[in-house]
Amino acid sequence: MLSSPRGGGVDKQMRLRWLTAGESHGSALLAVVEGMCAGLAIGTEDLIADLRARSEGAGRSARQQGESVEPVILSGVRNGVTTGAPIALLLANEVKGEDGFEALPDRSEHPSRTVPRPGHADLAGCLKRPGLDLRDIAERASARETAARTMAGALAAKLLGELGVRIASRVVRVGAVDADGPFGEPVPSTPFGTGDPDAERRMKRELAEAESQGEGLGGIFEVQATNVPAGLGDYTQWDLRLDGRLSQALMSIPAVKAVEIGDGIAIVSVRSSEARDAIVMSEGKLMRPTNRAGGIEGGVSNGMPIRARAYVKPIPGVSAPIASVDLATGEPAPAGHERHDTCVVRAAAVVGRAMTALVLADALLTRTGGDTLDQVRAALARLGR
């Protein structure tokens, strides 16, 4: 447990907790963030930029671009400042009920959906909860839920920014096209989120070709956190390791199928001497000439920038046909097609930044303790920041 309510000790439990609620076509999405320190200035304007970035970009459906990006702060903030109480955030759905889902007790007039869509949660969810209308599974499993996480993550990013930690993201691949552009907060404002105009021209052509065939594209996004204090996370238990927590958070984003920290994937092909980061003394400070570890060693931040990449599969809900089975009859049936995005890598990068912010904010608050922003700052100062 914390050695002092004013920080300096290490709490083995999560300090910051977050939950979301709501369905894709229900009345609204909600996020509840508990454990945020008091004294942080926050307003809806701090959340809107991230929500807008999540809804925009090449390959996004008309539904996403038409959704509201105007959140409501329901609790935990008074006079524009956090109080230390749980913070409840609401984002209304503009598009609701069109797929036969209403946030009402009686939906009997809508026929049950019985043909699961491969690549979605439909069949696995039905095997977990037999007899449930596939629509109910799809509505909660939908990536629309990540708008709620985006709100919570923007709140966490605001706290980190006040403490000097910056979190940015970028897209580094769409389909077979690689990019090497700048990072952005929350993401570069270019259509594919790369900040690399030449790469984006090639991505646009590849996506157009895929769309003409009823297909979509996946890709890779990268998140980088700079000025992160050393000592976040813990090597003493598996579930306290920062890289493990960060990987799980990124893997929880719909369509993400792999995560690497630092040079994670490339580093397996080199020898041991090429996989390490030397330690040197420069101007009285311990420094690293390289950052192959991605800012985390032994599950603990080492003071270098934290780098993580996530690999996003192509969206499965496109018009290219695929076989399925009608669960009501046991007979073969084509999987249904709904309106869907054809490329979500840029949006996933925004959500990835949000999840990274939540994990790092929790780790930082856990490390420092402190019930107010001033107490957290003082604890960081005592830790050498």
For residue 7, CA distances in Å to 11, 82, 373, 383 come to 10, 19, 11, 10
Instruction: Give CA–CA dist 47/148, Å, rounded.
Output: 10
For 79-144, list the strands marked E by DSSP. 81-82, 87-92
* pLDDT score, position 85: 98
Which residues of the chain carry a pLDDT beneath 50? 1-11, 103-104
H-only helix segments in the chain: 45-55, 62-66, 122-128, 134-141, 146-162, 197-212, 242-251, 345-368, 373-382
Q: What is the dihedral of CA 116, 118, 121, 123, to 10 degrees?
A: 40
SS3 249: helix
Going by the DSSP 8-state scheme, the letter that residue 144 receives in this structure is G
Angle, CA 30 vertex, CA 24 and CA 34 arms, to 5°: 145
Looking at domain 17-106+145-326+340-382, which of 1.10.8.60, 3.60.150.10, 3.60.90.10, 3.40.50.720 is its CATH number? 3.60.150.10
* pLDDT score, position 105: 54
* pLDDT score, position 7: 38
Give 203-223 pLDDT, tens digit per residue. Answer: 999 999 999 998 999 999 999
